[in-house]
Amino acid sequence: MSLFGKKEERYIGVDVGAGGMKIVELLFENGHYKLMTYGSTSRNADVVATSLTENPEVAVKHLKELVKEAGVEGRDVIASLPVHSVFSSIIAIPKVKDELETRSLVERQAEKLLPLPLAEMIIDYQLIDDKKIGDGNDSDGAVTKQKTLVAEKSEATGRADENERVMITGAQKTMVSTYTKIFQNAGLDLMSLETEPFALIRSMIGDDKSPIMILDLGAFRTNMTIVENGIPFINRSIKVGGGSVTQAIATQMSISIEEAEQVKYDLHASGSAIPKAVVDLFQPIVHEVNYAMEVFVKSEISKNQHVEKVILTGGSALLPGLDQFLTEQLNVRTFVGDPWARVKVNPALRPVLDELGPRFAVAIGLAMHSKKKASKEKIKK
């Protein structure tokens, strides 16, 4: 880097998962992101399905190894929060101009929905659009509940019934504190924490406004998010993932976990048909995906009557035949996403990155988010 030139804008995304960590460092240059380096650590499929953050010392070790082995040069990081440990909901509040009053209204509404007292949570929110009371339907969906809360507020304050929808997310303060200390002890500055769906929207969907489901097949969980206009309206998570696939293959073939992991890789490389054990294992996922799609349609969040496509990501997304299997089961076009599509990469690395792509989708999306956070205040220690 030139001593007299403009400082390089390097941004780091760290995906903290049960199966290990992934790190991606991007350079923002001439309006585009360029891949500088990447790396990952992994845990065996037979480890307890718990987050690395539940053992901070191990998490710090993973981080230090990643930074060193990948040759990361930056220090400012955006990290992920898992879907199942973050509260998320869409509410509606009276439309006001003052930002402080907006936050106050959001917090009052959030108190009625949060699983813990507001004092124990860190709340963030995003305005979605404007919505009048009485719009929509009276079904048992989240939108109806939100309208009820708004109506009560409006009657109590005498406000006009013009409202706006707000997406709120909340994380427990103790969890945020744990993340901050882990990154601090690893010699990194944690600029912000973001939920996985927003990172995946950035890396897998981009500017596509149509209703899309992202199906993230992690090591021990599968997360499903239905997105429209860049907003994750439906989030669900179940305890079935790539580790379960490995276990099923090991049991069916009477082999070790390590050998089963190799079988998964060989299956993808050979393009063989999806094994019966995997087909059986994915039936609960198919059921949950169908249910999530039904909720999306019945809630009338969208004018669209169906999800247009399903994008696969995560470590097990490349299982041979899985995309075709899910296309047939769901009657919705399903394909493996390419998170590198919006990042400039060395053409010589492309074959390797294509193999790794689904595993790094969250980390890539996090790094792409960092530019927006770079000028803001860091998370308070």
pLDDT tens per residue, range 261-277: 777 767 666 656 666 76
Domain shared by 17 and 103, yes or no: no
Domain end: 170, 191, 226, which one? 170
Return the CATH number at 349: 3.30.420.40
> In this model, does residue 185 exceed pLDDT 50?
yes
Burial group, residue 234, by CB count within 10 angstroms (0-12, 13-18, 19+): buried
CB of 143 within 8 A of CB of 89?
no
Collapsing DSSP to helix, strand or coil, 308 comes out as coil
Q: Indicate whether 1 belongs to any domain.
A: no
Domain shared by 15 and 144, yes or no: no
Q: Indicate whether 4 belongs to any domain.
A: no
Q: Indicate whether 362 belongs to any domain.
A: yes
How many angstroms separate the Cα of 319 from the Cα of each of 2, 42, 209, 241, 374? 45, 18, 28, 12, 37
Q: What is the pLDDT of residue 277?
A: 66
Domain end: 155, 170, 185, which one? 170
Question: Is 241 or 114 the better-scoring residue by pLDDT?
Answer: 114
Number of domains comprising the chain: 3
Domain end: 121, 154, 170, which one? 170
Expressed as residue numbers, the domain containing 112 is 85-170
Domain shared by 212 and 329, yes or no: yes
Domain shared by 129 and 159, yes or no: yes
Q: Indicate whether 239 belongs to any domain.
A: yes
Domain shared by 21 and 94, yes or no: no
Domain shared by 235 and 288, yes or no: yes
Domain shared by 353 and 278, yes or no: no
Average pLDDT in the 315-325 region? 85
List the strands of the sheet with 309-313, edge to edge.
231-238, 222-228, 212-217, 309-313, 333-336
pLDDT, tens digit, 9 for 90 and up, residues 356-368: 889 999 999 999 9
145: tokens are 């509940």
Domain shared by 288 and 181, yes or no: no
Mean of the per-residue pLDDT values of the chain: 81
Domain shared by 151 and 267, yes or no: no
Domain shared by 265 and 309, yes or no: yes
